[in-house]
């Protein structure tokens, strides 16, 4: 497995790009560690596949270099890069047995029989395919076929990295969850460098140690699921991660308070100091989880109008309007009474973030 370095990589599908917007991938300068489980997460069109194809060698970047363990592979085609790829739809030999399919990538590379058998049995056991090893791939369900596809990617321990391009799209939701857990287990057991592309935050957050969030052709944050949830460094991360995403309120800072219209929200000393020094368009960000909903006024709470309440099973999402048409969503824990038309919301001071021109203000 390899450390992957993206050295000032950028890509445009236009022959003579003139400005930033002509680039599908803006400047990316990153190092991804050997043995890491990374998820590349972002909305459709943000450049995930472009980046994946640059790493696998299907695409040569317009600018910059790709290095595997320090070796420049930018000019190498996919077959010379030693990468395994798992695509959205299963790529299998239907007439071969499950064993044959799993063994194929190793046979192709001249591994000896005992080594092939050892590795195939190991991967089959992890993916619960041991009982189907002698069955023809054609006789299996779509889910099982995709499991074999995953297995074919995982079976090679000699690869620099394994790239997964939305591999669970065709999988039944229940099995999806199981397979995600399996992949995590595989990563822990086999210490592979895994790069997993998805637009689904749940997939990314449950699979990866590090999530790489992409937006409009750039990487806006790389972090653990907890870091992305607690400290979104870009407004897009706050909005994209979490269900629902972070609340954002345009504000000005006055002493130890944020003013949203004429509503005052108390800040802690550290946040107030950051706000006082900030320039640009300032917004207050807070996750629904860190808002307390009260039926009556409590200390440092603000009045809101309740618009709707959605029951999510073990909690409710209360959508409210605060002041001059600012939408504020709060998470109401199970067992707490639902407010009626009016409510009071208390902001958890230590979870208030300030953003200047979409970027988190921090020390």
Binding site for ligand ATP (CB under 6 A): 13, 24, 42, 44-50, 199
**To the nearest whole angstrom, how small is the minimum distance from the Cβ of residue 211 to ligand ATP?**
14
Smallest distance, ligand ATP to C-beta of residue 55, A:
12
Nearer to ligand ATP, 41 or 120 (CB): 41
For 15, the token pair is 């022959």
Nearest residue (CB) to ligand ATP, 88 versus 130: 88
Nearest-Å Rg of the Cα atoms of the chain is 24
- Of 24 and 148, the one with the shorter C-beta distance to ligand ATP is 24
Kindly tell me which of 13 and 138 has the beta carbon lying closer to ligand ATP. Answer: 13
Measured between alpha carbons, how far is 24 from 151 in angstroms, rounded to an integer?
A: 32
Between strands 161-165 and 194-198, the pairing is: parallel
What CA–CA distances, in Å, run from 185 to 191, 254, 302, 355?
A: 10, 50, 46, 37
- Cα separation, 213 vs 270, in Å, equals 27
Residues whose CB is less than 8 angstroms from the CB of residue 141 and which lie 6 or more positions away in sequence, other chains included: none
DSSP H or E stretch at residue 5: strand 4-11
CA distances in angstroms from 343 to 238, 339, 349, listed in the order given: 25, 6, 19
- To ligand ATP, the closest distance from the beta carbon of 222 in angstroms equals 16
Strands (DSSP E) along 261-322, which ranges? 263-266, 282-286, 291-294, 301-311, 315-322
Instruction: Look at residue 328 and give its three-state secondary structure.
Output: strand
Determine the 3-state secondary structure of 318 from DSSP.
Answer: strand
Using the minimum distance from each CB to ligand ATP, give the nearer residue, 51 or 322. Answer: 51
The CB-of-14 to ligand ATP minimum distance in angstroms stands at 8
To the nearest whole angstrom, how small is the minimum distance from the Cβ of residue 83 to ligand ATP? Answer: 17
What DSSP state is assigned to residue 22?
G
CB of 50 to ligand ATP, least distance (A): 3
- The string over 164-190, giving b where at least 16 C-beta atoms fall within 10 Å of a residue's C-beta and e elsewhere, is bbbbbeebeeebbeebbebbbebbeeb
Element (H, E) at 124: helix 113-126
Q: How far is the CB of 217 from ligand ATP (least distance, A)?
A: 7
Position of tokens 């064993």? Answer: 99
User: 50 vs 326, which CB is nearer to ligand ATP?
Assistant: 50
Judged by CB, which is closer to ligand ATP: 40, or 274?
Answer: 40
Q: How far is the CB of 169 from ligand ATP (least distance, A)?
A: 10
23 vs 32, beta carbon nearer ligand ATP? 23
């Amino acid at each position: 497995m390899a450390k992957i370095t993206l050295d000032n990589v950028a890509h445009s599908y236009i022959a003579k790009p003139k400005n930033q917007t002509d680039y599908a991938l803006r400047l990316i300068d990153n190092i991804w560690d050997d043995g890491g489980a990374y998820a590349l997460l972002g909305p459709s069109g943000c450049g995930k596949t472009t980046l994946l194809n640059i790493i696998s060698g299907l695409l040569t970047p317009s600018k910059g270099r790709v290095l595997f363990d320090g070796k420049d592979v930018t000019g190498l085609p996919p077959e010379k890069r030693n990468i395994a790829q798992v695509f959205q739809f299963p790529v299998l030999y239907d007439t071969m047995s499950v064993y044959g399919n799993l063994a194929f990538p190793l046979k192709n590379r001249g591994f000896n029989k005992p080594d092939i058998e050892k590795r195939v049995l190991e991967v089959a056991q992890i993916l619960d395919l041991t009982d189907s090893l002698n069955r023809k791939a054609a006789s299996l369900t779509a889910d099982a076929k995709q499991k074999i596809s995953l297995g074919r990617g995982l079976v090679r321990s000699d690869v620099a990295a394994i790239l997964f391009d939305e591999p669970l799209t065709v999988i039944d939701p229940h099995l999806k969850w199981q397979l995600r857990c399996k992949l995590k287990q595989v990563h822990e057991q086999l210490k592979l460098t895994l790069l997993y592309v998805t637009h689904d935050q749940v997939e990314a957050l449950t699979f990866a140690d590090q999530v790489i969030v992409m937006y409009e052709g750039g990487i806006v944050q790389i972090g653990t699921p907890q870091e992305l949830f607690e400290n979104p460094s870009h407004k897009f991360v706050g909005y994209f991660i979490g269900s629902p995403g972070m609340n954002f309120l345009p504000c000005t800072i006055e002493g130890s308070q944020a003013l949203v219209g004429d509503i005052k929200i108390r800040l802690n000393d550290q946040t107030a100091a950051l706000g006082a020094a900030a320039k640009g368009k300032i917004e207050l960000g807070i996750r629904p989880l860190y808002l307390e909903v009260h039926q009556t006024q409590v200390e440092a709470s603000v009045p809101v109008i309740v618009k709707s309440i959605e029951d999510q099973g073990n909690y409710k999402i209360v959508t409210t309007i605060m002041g001059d048409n600012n939408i504020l969503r709060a998470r109401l824990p199970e067992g707490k009474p639902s407010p009626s038309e009016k409510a009071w919301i208390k902001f958890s001071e230590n979870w208030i973030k300030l953003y200047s021109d979409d970027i988190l203000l921090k020390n």
